[in-house]
Structure formats: C-alpha cells, structure tokens
C-alpha cells in the first residue's frame, strides 16, 4: 500500500491531524489500537480559559480558544454530530485564599472571571459556605461523540488500520518510510505516552502524570454549567450523566484505577452534593504532559520524514486543533510552527542519537 502520511494514534491529535490532511486532499492511513483508557477517551473535554491556583489566562488564549471553537464546530458539521458546547464554570471557593485570589482577578478586569450575581442560586444542589465565582467562555469538547464518529469515518474510507503499532517493523529511508507492506512519505506519531519510549523522541522532556475520574449519574442536577470545588463536575451529552475528576499523580506504580481515588472522590461528592447520585464507572489514564507545559510539534531534525504531534497534557482539547493545523501547514506548505511548540527547540538533544 502507498500513502503520503502514516499517522500513529487516533486520539484527539490523530483525529484532527487526519481531518486537516483530508481537507487538503492528501492521502493518509491511521494506525490505532482502540485503547479505551487513552487520555482522549477518558477526558471530560473541558476547555478552560484560566488555569492554576493563581487563576491566570492560559497560554495563547486569544488564538487557541476561538480556533478550537471553530474547529470542533467544523468537524461536527462535517460528521453531522455535536462536538462542542459553551458553558460557564461555577467555581465554589474551597477556602478563603482561593476566594481572595479569584476576586483579585475580577478586580483586575480579567475578561473571563466574574463574581456570580446570584450567590444562593445553587443552594438546592450543593453545600458551599464561601460563595462562588463564574468563569465564562468555557467549552466542553464532546470527545465521546467525536472520536467514535471519526473512527467510523476512517473505517468507511479504508483509512484506519486497527492494530498495535510495532516500532521494530518500521524502516526509515531518506525519502520514504516503510512499515510492513505500507510505504509512506512521512510518519507522524500522535500516540501519547508511547512516544516517551520511542527512540526518535524519547529524549524530549515528557513529564507523564496519572489522572483518575468517575462517571456519575445525578439525574436532578442541571446540566447547564460546569461545577468546581476542588474536583470538577462536568456534564456529558447523556442526560443526567456527569464526569467527576480529576487528580494528578506524579508517582504511580501503574495506570490502573485506584481504590484510594474512588473513596476520596465519593467522600468529596457526598459532602459537596445535596442530591442523590450513583457512580457508574471509574477510569484512569496517563497524560502525555511535558516539563515546560508546551506541546511537541514538528519534524525530527535528523529524520525529516518522522514527525510528532504530542505533549498536549491537560490542555489537549484546546491546544490540539490549533497545532494539528499548524503541523498540517508545515507538512503541506512548509509554514513554520509556533516557536514555543516547535520541536526545533530540542534540535540539540534530538541530534545526539
């Protein structure tokens, strides 16, 4: 088989890269093993314009956020499904310090942060003693709709190979790559933490962390907002179903869900929520985060037919469409990638192998 691009992984990165290559009428094949616990598969899809305990605006917000909104709507329209919705986030202050920080940002006229006008509105649903604020212009990317729909689209067009990628069967030549019986001009790795052990990219400063989440049935809770008090409670597309998460574990023996998280999250929900609920699932996954919290995008300095779109971390739903398009523009038109994301910044260490 002959194709222009071989894409490894059909998480959110592989999905948007293949989408933009399709728009450019380029040939490609995606290889994906259908891992049900990949970071994309268990993500809530939240796109939040502020980050951290200091409530600072996210990197490149003025470019990233409007691009993401359009990108999800475009692919959703093409697939005839809903891929994104806009919801404000109600932040119930967990302690006095966080309330002070939030209100300081409001007074600084942060465009995303607002004091919530009806402080008692959520009393029928939640226990909260310190009030709440509102983060506007948040989105939820409906990955539970997008990923399977795009998978089916690829299958229908014979552009998906459902199997484990076997790196030892990859051969790199100056002007082409060979994988089993597949010949391609370039191979692009969109495979999350698998790139952490990939000899082409294992020198990159990945900083993987583990996150866990619960799927919870709360039939009487309005799905009009995202709710936060330590944990985040985000509505999914199915009526009454919410995603509860997530934590960050930097030291972990494996990627399995833990009893400790389940019990902690259940205790938190019982103390916070006034409504009856039922926990219906518990999942865990490893995020392909990076030490400097910037993605890895571009072509290898020694092997220009080997590329990567990875390292999105917790901001994958917002960052990926923008940088998938940037990588597509590099591949098709040789247009430079945003310097803070381009793996050219690691040319020195990548050239040592």
Let me know: does 224 contact 138? Beta carbons within 8 Å.
no
Please give the chain's pLDDT, 353 residues, in tens: 999 999 999 999 999 999 999 999 999 999 999 887 777 778 889 999 998 888 899 999 999 999 999 999 999 999 999 999 999 999 999 999 999 999 999 999 989 999 988 899 999 999 999 999 999 999 999 999 999 999 999 999 999 999 999 999 999 988 889 999 999 999 999 998 888 889 999 999 998 888 899 999 999 999 999 999 999 999 999 999 999 997 778 788 888 999 999 999 999 999 999 999 999 999 998 888 898 899 999 999 999 999 999 999 889 999 999 999 999 999 999 999 999 999 999 999 999 86
The per-residue pLDDT for 54 is 86
Q: Which helix (H) or strand (E) holds 268?
A: helix 259-272
Query: Tokens representing 320?
Result: 């990926």
Query: Tokens representing 301?
Result: 């300095």
Can you give the pTM of this predicted structure?
Answer: 0.94
Residue 114 CB-density burial (10 A; 0-12 exposed, 13-18 middle, 19+ buried): middle
DSSP of 221-244: S-SSSEEEESEEEEE-SSTTEEEE
In order of their start, the domains of the chain are: 2-43+144-206+291-350 (3.50.50.60), 89-136+209-286 (3.30.9.10)
């Amino acid at each position: 088989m002959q194709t222009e691009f071989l894409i490894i992984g059909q998480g959110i990165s592989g999905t948007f890269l293949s989408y933009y290559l399709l728009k450019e009428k380029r040939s490609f094949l995606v290889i994906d093993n259908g891992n049900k616990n990949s970071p994309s598969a268990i993500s809530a899809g939240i796109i939040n314009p502020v980050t951290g305990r200091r409530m600072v605006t996210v990197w490149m917000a003025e470019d990233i956020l409007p691009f993401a909104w359009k990108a999800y709507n475009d692919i959703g329209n093409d697939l005839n499904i809903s891929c994104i919705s806009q919801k404000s986030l109600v932040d119930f202050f967990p302690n006095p310090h966080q309330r002070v920080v939030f209100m300081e940002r409001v007074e600084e006229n942060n465009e995303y942060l607002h004091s919530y006008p009806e402080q008692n509105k959520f009393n029928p649903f939640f226990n909260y003693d310190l009030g709440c604020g509102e983060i506007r212009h948040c989105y939820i990317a409906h990955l539970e709709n997008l990923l399977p729909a795009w998978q089916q689209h690829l299958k229908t067009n014979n552009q998906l190979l459902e199997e484990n990628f076997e790196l030892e069967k990859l051969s790199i030549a100056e002007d082409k790559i060979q994988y089993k019986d597949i010949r391609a001009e370039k191979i692009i790795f969109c495979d999350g933490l698998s790139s952490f052990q990939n000899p082409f990219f294992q020198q990159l400063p990945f900083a993987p962390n583990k996150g866990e989440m619960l799927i919870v049935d709360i039939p009487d809770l309005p799905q009009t907002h995202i709710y936060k008090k330590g944990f985040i409670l985000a509505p999914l597309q199915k009526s009454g179903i919410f995603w509860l998460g997530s934590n960050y574990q930097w030291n972990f023996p494996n990627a399995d869900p833990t009893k400790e998280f389940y019990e902690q999250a259940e205790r938190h929900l019982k103390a916070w929520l006034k409504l009856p609920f039922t926990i219906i699932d518990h999942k865990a996954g490893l995020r392909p985060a990076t030490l400097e919290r910037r993605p890895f995008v571009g072509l290898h300095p020694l092997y220009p037919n080997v590329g990567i779109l990875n390292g999105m971390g917790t901001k994958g739903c917002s960052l990926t469409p923008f940088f998938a398009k940037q990588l597509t523009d590099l591949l098709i038109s040789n247009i430079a990638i945003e310097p803070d994301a381009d793996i050219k910044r690691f040319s020195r260490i990548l050239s040592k192998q």
